[in-house]
Chain A
Amino acid sequence: MQHIKVTVDGTTYHKEVEPRTLLVHFLREDLGRVGTVVGCDTSNCGACTVLVDAVSVKSCSMLAVQADGSEITTIQGVSDGNDWHPVQSAFKECHGLQCGYCTPGMVMSSIDLLNENPNPTEAEIREGLEGNLCRCTGYHNIVKSVQRAAELMEGAKS
């Protein structure tokens, strides 16, 4: 077992983990934060996406021991407790989900995308979300959601 210290959604945890524990399993099983889901065994689907030190990573493709000392944001930490994050609001408004399984990862990747590029074109959105698969929506409303989120975030700034 190895000792790690991580801050997840604003709370700092000290835990003993087995080196082989994937970050996603640590979040779900050790911390009970089950908002982040596993969708594949091949690092393809992106359902498990979280932010580690403010950039998107697939939490199934990182070890919990590698996250030692870092700050993690999951889908459960993006809202301030009262209001949704603009990306969440936009996904609701634009019907950017159906079954919702891909949504935690889609929202986290969209936040990363908009951090890096606050005003993306449709092509940039499609490219930026290429690491996230959705079996339901055909992506159309997801793209619209990200465009709407960009407007909401731009509006919030002015």
Chain B
Amino acid sequence: MIPVAFDYKKASSVQDALAALAAGGEDAKLMGGGQSLLPVLRLRLNAPSVVVDCSSIPEIKGIKDEGGKIVIGAGTTHHAVMNDPAVKSSLKVLADATASVADPQIRHRGTLGGALAHSDPRADQPPVALALDAEFTIAGATGQRTVAAADFFQGPFETAVGPDEILVSVAFPKLDGWGGHYEKFNRAAQAWSIVGVAATVRMEGGKIAEARIGLTNVGGTPHRASAVEQALVGASSIAEIEAASMHASDGLSPFADEDADVEYRLHLARVLTARSVAKAAGIS
């Protein structure tokens, strides 16, 4: 279908975009790569009066290595993120999760910031940001503020970014020397995760010394499996990883849908956590 008519404004700076959002009022909508927004507009599930395109704002694009952290501009495409040498070496789990998003065409246009701000419960990058304690920089009328990942994801399609604000960048602490893996379970190529598990671990003498685990699509927001992270410390065998991963379903109350009922999702959470951790740790 053809979307309902709207005005279009290509923003050249963050200030420019904020002004356009303020002028557009309630029905103004920001667009990054458009890979989630345009399908929604085509199905006429949303009809903004003005679309503010932030995809060519130079200050929200690109990847910077800032010593202890890697700062990724919200407007950086998935393709750029997954192929960046610093991301591949210091944030392997983010590179893996990003490579699993959609398909090459969508990854050429879709952006990390768009995916995180959209916060679809099925999206693959939000649990990585949560598990890695990423920091979100958000710009609004009164200036910029920083929000921790634990406070950023507030519900399905709901984040700390207000309707008149822009996500500028996301900072990830570097995990040099850590192993990482994203285990995605779906039925067909290019399909969304039924459940996904982001795992990253630091090894010491063949044993897991530290672990960070985030789960996709087991609730309305990404889930941090803290109980598994604690139980994994000291694990050095598949049996120990599997035992610790039994905690992956602790405290979860997932939904049922056409892909999986509640019991099956809980089962997937445990099994995929064990698989993801084993691969991240290089233990087979």
Q: How far is the CA of A18 from the CA of B53 in the complex (A)?
A: 15
The verdict on A131 contacting chain B, using a C-beta distance below 8 Å, is yes
The verdict on B105 contacting chain A, using a C-beta distance below 8 Å, is yes
Counting chain A residues whose Cβ lies within 8 A of the other chain, the interface size class is: 20 to 34
The verdict on A153 contacting chain B, using a C-beta distance below 8 Å, is no
CB distance from B54 to the nearest CB of A (A): 12
B residues in contact with A42, CB < 8 Å: 39, 43
**Total number of B residues with any Cβ neighbor in A under 8 Å:** 29
Whether B39 pairs with A19 at a CB distance below 8 angstroms is no
Q: How far is the CA of A18 from the CA of B7 in the complex (A)?
A: 9
Whether A61 pairs with B34 at a CB distance below 8 angstroms is yes
Interface membership of chain B positions 25-60, coded 1 if the CB is closer than 8 angstroms to chain A and 0 otherwise: 000000000110011011100000001010100000
B residues in contact with A128, CB < 8 Å: 104
Q: How far is the CA of A114 from the CA of B174 in the complex (A)?
A: 32
A residues in contact with B35, CB < 8 Å: 43, 61
Whether B53 pairs with A66 at a CB distance below 8 angstroms is yes
Can you report 25 residue pairs joining A to B where beta carbons are below 8 Å apart?
Answer: A20-B2, A20-B3, A21-B2, A22-B3, A22-B38, A22-B42, A25-B2, A41-B42, A42-B43, A43-B35, A43-B38, A43-B39, A43-B42, A55-B79, A58-B105, A61-B34, A61-B38, A62-B34, A62-B38, A63-B38, A65-B8, A65-B10, A66-B34, A126-B189, A131-B104
A residues in contact with B233, CB < 8 Å: none
For window 100-118 of B, CB contacts with A under 8 Å fall at 102-106, 108-109
A residues in contact with B41, CB < 8 Å: 20
For window 28-82 of A, CB contacts with B under 8 Å fall at 41-44, 46, 49, 55-58, 60-63, 65-66, 68
